[in-house]
């Protein structure tokens, strides 16, 4: 069972770029555009790329595992939609982790603690969103 709704998975599956927010050892925030994919085996978001092992985002996850990740866009004339994920990040390395040829065999995996989605349902009034914390997610803490 997944922590994501079918609408969220459909939306994420149709997108290629998101933004990862991390916090460094000095407390400074960083927001970085990243490639991502949903990993159904771990029910997580995997973030990979070129130069991952030498990146600031990689070092930031060592200092602070809490991260935020958002994928969003706007449909005409003005219909914002997206999925925001807050959770714990872990660093994964080794064969099979590369996103493709030329990519590092390393990724950042985000396990959701909180998911907020907005604008995914055409009949939902603008401004309304759906938000769940870990305790409300299937399989979350009791």
Q: Answer whether residue 85 is part of any domain.
A: yes
What does the pLDDT look like over 44-73, one tens digit per residue? 999 998 999 999 999 999 999 999 999 999
Q: CB of 99 within 8 A of CB of 37?
A: yes
pLDDT, greater one: 106 or 141: 106
Tell me how far apart the alpha carbons of residues 16 and 13 are, in angstroms, rounded to a whole number.
8
pLDDT of residue 6: 94
Q: Answer whether residue 33 is part of any domain.
A: yes
Sign of CA dihedral 78, 79, 85, 90: negative
Q: Taking the CA of residue 110 as centre, how many other CA atoms within 13 Å lie in the half-sphere pointing to its CB? A: 31
Q: What angle do CA 130, 132, 134 make, to 5 degrees?
A: 165
What does the pLDDT look like over 83-107, one tens digit per residue? 999 999 999 999 988 988 888 999 9
Q: How many structural domains are present in the chain?
A: 1
Q: Answer whether residue 141 is part of any domain.
A: no
Structural domain range at position 36: 6-136
Q: Answer whether residue 1 is part of any domain.
A: no
CATH number of residue 111's parent domain: 2.30.110.10
Q: What is the pTM of this model?
A: 0.88
Q: Answer whether residue 142 is part of any domain.
A: no
């Amino acid at each position: 069972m997944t922590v994501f709704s079918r609408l969220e998975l459909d939306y994420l599956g149709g997108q290629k770029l998101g933004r990862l927010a991390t916090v460094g050892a000095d407390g400074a925030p960083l927001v970085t555009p990243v490639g991502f994919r949903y990993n159904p085996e771990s029910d997580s978001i995997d973030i990979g790329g070129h130069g991952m092992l030498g990146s600031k985002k990689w070092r930031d996850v060592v200092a602070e595992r809490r991260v935020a990740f958002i994928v969003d866009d706007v449909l005409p004339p003005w219909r914002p939609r997206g999925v925001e994920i807050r959770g714990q990040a872990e660093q994964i390395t080794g064969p099979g982790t590369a996103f493709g040829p030329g990519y590092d065999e390393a990724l950042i995996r985000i396990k959701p603690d909180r998911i907020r989605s907005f604008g995914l349902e055409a009949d939902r009034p603008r401004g309304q969103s759906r938000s769940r914390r870990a305790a409300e997610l299937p399989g979350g803490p009791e």
